Amino acid sequence: AQTVTQSQPEMSVQEAETVTLSCTYDTSESDYYLFWYKQPPSRQMILVIRQEAYKQQNATENRFSVNFQKAAKSFSLKISDSQLGDAAMYFCAYRRSTSNTGKLIFGQGTTLQVKP
Amino acid sequence: EADIYQTPRYLVIGTGKKITLECSQTMGHDKMYWYQQDPGMELHLIHYSYGVNSTEKGDLSSESTVSRIRTEHFPLTLESARPSHTSQYLCASSPKNQETQYFGPGTRLLVL
């Protein structure tokens, strides 16, 4: 069975600085998708960034980028120029590409605090 | 933010009551999901649906039931609420051939 592990329950970063959130996963599949979702306090969960496993190039979305290491089964999220609005709980998630259900498997989450 | 809605946002109810949590999406997505999330914890899939009249149980055992009579509507029902059902329930949807799931704002349920 696939599992997703986020080993950092809490992280903090100074405004305008860079922070990296860690995620590792376990799977025997070769093709899959990885996601980072952001859940602000009492607000809707939104997609931050996604990565297809067959693509070697790391995904980037504005200030958010990933470091995808397929052999190490690692998928970290880097947030550059952190802003107060980045404070949230961040979830790493995995999905098999052949999944009919599209089911996501989530990590435990990392709460990010941004200090002014 | 995606066009997916959940009502109520907050619900406090007594043990033994029947409740229905509503979830609607206006994007025409085929797939819909219900997740349960305890505070500060990960999400666990409890139900999903491929489309109208198709529902399946997820990984986490749940006493709730779901129905999918219309594409846009995926309600979750608890016949007899118990304190152990206290949690946040998140609804999500995704188009047929897309990987991304879009989440609703969630319903926070407290059963006394």
Instruction: For domain A3-115, give the fold.
Output: Immunoglobulin-like (2.60.40)
Q: What is the mean pLDDT of chain B?
A: 92
Strands (E), chain A: 3-5, 10-14, 19-21, 24-26, 32-39, 46-52, 60-61, 64-69, 74-79, 88-96, 105-106, 110-115
pLDDT at B60 over 90: no
Residues of chain B in contact with residue A45, where contact means CB-CB under 8 angstroms, are 90, 103, 106
- As a whole-number percent, the residues of chain B with pLDDT over 70 amount to 98
pLDDT at B61: 78
**3-class DSSP state of B14:** coil
Residues of chain B in contact with residue A55, where contact means CB-CB under 8 angstroms, are none
- Given 1.10.286.10, 2.60.220.10, 2.40.50.140, 2.60.40.10, which CATH number is that of B4-94? 2.60.40.10
Per-residue pLDDT tens over the stretch A14-44: 999 999 999 999 999 889 999 999 999 877 8
Q: What distance lies between CA B10 and its chain's CA centroid?
A: 13
Residues of chain A in contact with residue B43, where contact means CB-CB under 8 angstroms, are 91, 104, 106
pLDDT at B2: 61
DSSP state of A110: E
* All residues at 6 or more sequence positions from B9 whose CB lies less than 8 Å from its CB, including other chains: B105, B106, B107, B108
Q: In terms of DSSP H, where are the helices of A11-71?
A: none
Considering only CB atoms, A44 lies closest to which of B33, B59, B105, namely B105
Domain boundaries, chain A: 3-115
